[in-house]
A and B are shown apart, each in its own frame.
Chain A
Amino acid sequence: MNNLLDISTAHGRELRGYPNMNDARTTPYTSKAQEGLLANTTSVSVVLHYAYKRPVSIQARRVIDSLKEFGALPENWDSYGAVRIGEGVIEDAIRVVKAFDALQQEVYFVAPGPNGEISLELENSISNRSLEILIYPDNKWKYLRFEAKDFVAQGNMTTHDIRSHQDWLQGR
């Protein structure tokens, strides 16, 4: 079986539901475990399912662990009336971390907010660009873009915009 498929692209699609076969691209696998899986099947859907379950990087795992800790914060966790971080917000933040991880982009810092939101920060030292994503309890997401220290843009976003934000971070 042809072992050419872009698992990162397929994985990134998990946010929109089950991965779409049309998103498959041609990138060689390197993992022996993946090759083994491929050797035993001729079903592309099984391969895509494997991509859907693709493990995250160690760095992303650390970030996800931090996000899960936010769930233990009590009401008034900052002594100035900060509200609890809801499970839905944490789950959304984890999805964002996984999506960027699949694109090999690190989320380097996460913070809970006083209004139940979560902030995720990403940067690219080569392009000197940074991105902040804010996930609110009402399912609204916002992004903020900075070039060096200069604010350049903000707006609403959805999972569909993650690839374009990654491209921007890369300087494209």
Chain B
Amino acid sequence: MLQKGDRIPENDVLLRRVWANDKRYIKPDGKLSSRAFAPRPKDEGKLSVDIERLTTYKRAVKDEKKFLLYQIRAVAVYDIELDCIFDPYPAEDPANDAHALIIGFPPDDESKPAILARTAQRVTNTQ
């Protein structure tokens, strides 16, 4: 059983909620803009995801009128020298027991958000 701060196993699938209200981050072919995986300064190089096996798509997407859900394998995160740790019940989402963080984004390296965006696959059934 995962404990807070544990490394997420390579074969886990991570879910990333993406703002979709006006399709700003969604390309015509359904792929994501790198901006969907770009951390903000306040994130301190961390990016929120949920662990698929600990949640449901409906819970993870929260509001399917506003968000789309994309999935990525944890191993894809490790392949580009980022890390992913278990972080349940974060302050901004205190009921979320499936929350994890992708960490280690170097501040001046834009390749990692771009690679993650190209790797992510859309989850189509979020009911």
- Residues on A lying within 8 angstroms of B by beta carbon are 77-82, 108-109, 111-115, 117, 119, 121, 132, 134, 142, 144, 146, 149, 151, 154
Contact = CB atoms under 8 A, between A and B. Distances in A.
Contacts of A149: 118-119
Contacts of A144: 34, 110-111, 114
A132 B34 contact: yes
A79 B66 contact: yes
Contacts of A114: 35, 38, 40
Interface string B107-125: 0011100110011000000
Contacts of A81: 40, 42
Interface string B69-83: 000000000000000
A154 B113 CA distance: 12
Nearest to B109: A154
Given A78-B24, A112-B24, A146-B118, A119 B34 contact: yes
A78 B42 CA distance: 15
Contacts of A142: 110
Contacts of A121: 27, 33
Contacts of B27: 109, 121
B16 to A, nearest CB: 12
Most chain B C-beta atoms within 10 Å of own C-beta, residue among A78, A142, A149: A78
Interface residues of B, number: 20
Interface of B: 19, 24-25, 27-28, 33-35, 38, 40-42, 66, 109-111, 114-115, 118-119
Contact of B111 (A77, A78, A109, A151): A151
Most chain B C-beta atoms within 10 Å of own C-beta, residue among A109, A119, A142, A146: A119
A154 B111 contact: yes
B35 A112 contact: yes
Contacts of B41: 115
Most chain A C-beta atoms within 10 Å of own C-beta, residue among B27, B35, B38, B42: B35
Q: Which 10 A-B pairs have the closest CB atoms?
A: A111-B33, A78-B19, A113-B35, A111-B35, A109-B27, A151-B111, A114-B40, A154-B111, A144-B114, A119-B35
A153 to B, nearest CB: 9
A144 B115 CA distance: 10
Contacts of B111: 144, 151, 154
A111 B24 contact: yes
Contacts of A154: 109-111
B19 A79 contact: yes
A51 to B, nearest CB: 31
A108 B118 CA distance: 16
